[in-house]
Amino acid sequence: MLRFFGSSSRTLISANPALRNVYLQSFRTASNQPKVDQTQPTDEKLSSKSDRFSSPTVKRRVNIKKIFSDENSNEDSLPTSPRRANIPSPGSFDDPARLTANLSTKSRYENEIADITDYYSEEKRRRTARQNQARLIHENAQPKSDQMGPRKKSANAIEIEKLFDETEYISPKKTTRQVAKPTEKFNQNQQPRQPRKERTLTKQSNESLATNQPNRDPLLSTSIEQANTTEELLKIFDKYVVPTEFALGLQKLNQLASEENSDSVQTYGQLDEARARMESLLLGFVNKFSDNELATAIAFVAKYYPENNEFTDKFSVTLTSRLRRISVHQIVRILDELKASRHTAQWIHRVYNRLLALAEGRYFEFDNIRDILALTHKLSYNDRLINRLDERILEITDTLTFDDWFKILINKSMLKRRDRTIIRAACYHLLKLSDSFLFPIEKIKDCLLACAMLNVYDKPFLERLTRDAYEQVHLINDTFVLQSIITSMGTLRIRHCELLDAFGKTLLEDPESKARCIPSFIRTCASVNYVPSTLSTLVDKHLKLDENSTDETNQANEIKNQIDLVWSLAILDKANQTHVAQVLNQDIFQLIQNEVMNSKIASALKLLSIYSYSLQKFSKKFLKPTFNIEQLAQQLTLKNSNAQDQLAKAVTIVAPENTYSKFSVVTSNMIVIDCLMVVDKSGTPQDLSTVLTNGENNSTTGQTTYNKVRLDDSRFKVALKCLDYQDKTLITNSVSGPIALQLRLLNSLGYKCVPIHYDEFMKIQVPTDRVKYVQRKIKEAIDTSSATDRQVNTPSRKGNASD
- Distance (Å) of CA 637 to CA 77, 229, 644, 661: 46, 66, 14, 21
Closest CA to 77 of 366, 396, 388, 408: 396
- Distance (Å) of CA 586 to CA 559, 589, 590, 593: 13, 5, 6, 10
Please determine, for residue 35, whether its predicted confidence score (pLDDT) is greater than 50. no
pLDDT at residue 121 in the model? 65
Q: What is the arithmetic mean of pLDDT over 245-254?
A: 85
**Within 10 A of 105 (CB to CB), how many other CB atoms are there?**
20
What pTM value is reported for the model? Answer: 0.70
Q: What is the arithmetic mean of pLDDT over 699-712?
A: 54
Please determine, for residue 249, whether its predicted confidence score (pLDDT) is greater than 70. yes
DSSP label at residue 716: E
Instruction: Write out pLDDT tens, residues 203-239.
Output: 333 333 333 444 556 776 777 777 778 888 788 777 6
pLDDT at residue 267 in the model? 87
Q: Are 226 and 271 in contact (CB under 8 A)?
A: no
Highest mean predicted confidence (pLDDT) among 80-84, 128-132, 254-258, 716-720 = 716-720
The number of CA neighbours under 13 Å toward the Cβ of 783 is 8
Please determine, for residue 789, whether its predicted confidence score (pLDDT) is greater than 80. no
Percent of the chain with pLDDT over 90: 30
Q: What is the arithmetic mean of pLDDT over 599-619?
A: 91
Closest CA to 176 of 1, 51, 27: 51
Q: Are 589 and 622 in contact (CB under 8 A)?
A: no
DSSP string covering 26-49: HHHHHHHSPP--TTS-SSHHHHHH
Instruction: Write out pLDDT tens, residues 648-681.
Output: 999 999 999 989 999 988 888 889 899 999 998 8
DSSP label at residue 623: P
User: Phi, psi at residue 696, to the nearest 5°?
Assistant: -110, 120
Q: Are 230 and 269 in contact (CB under 8 A)?
A: no
Instruction: Write out pLDDT tens, residues 393-445.
Output: 999 988 999 999 999 999 999 988 888 899 999 999 999 999 999 999 999 99
**Within 10 A of 793 (CB to CB), how many other CB atoms are there?**
10
Please determine, for residue 48, whether its predicted confidence score (pLDDT) is greater than 80. no
- Distance (Å) of CA 616 to CA 745, 786, 796: 8, 20, 19
Please determine, for residue 108, whether its predicted confidence score (pLDDT) is greater than 60. no
Instruction: Write out pLDDT tens, residues 495-515.
Output: 999 999 999 999 999 898 899
Strands 715-723 and 751-757: parallel
Q: What is the arithmetic mean of pLDDT over 735-761?
A: 92
Instruction: Write out pLDDT tens, residues 274-287.
Output: 888 888 888 988 88
pLDDT at residue 603 in the model? 92
User: Phi, psi at residue 728, to the nearest 5°?
Assistant: -125, 165
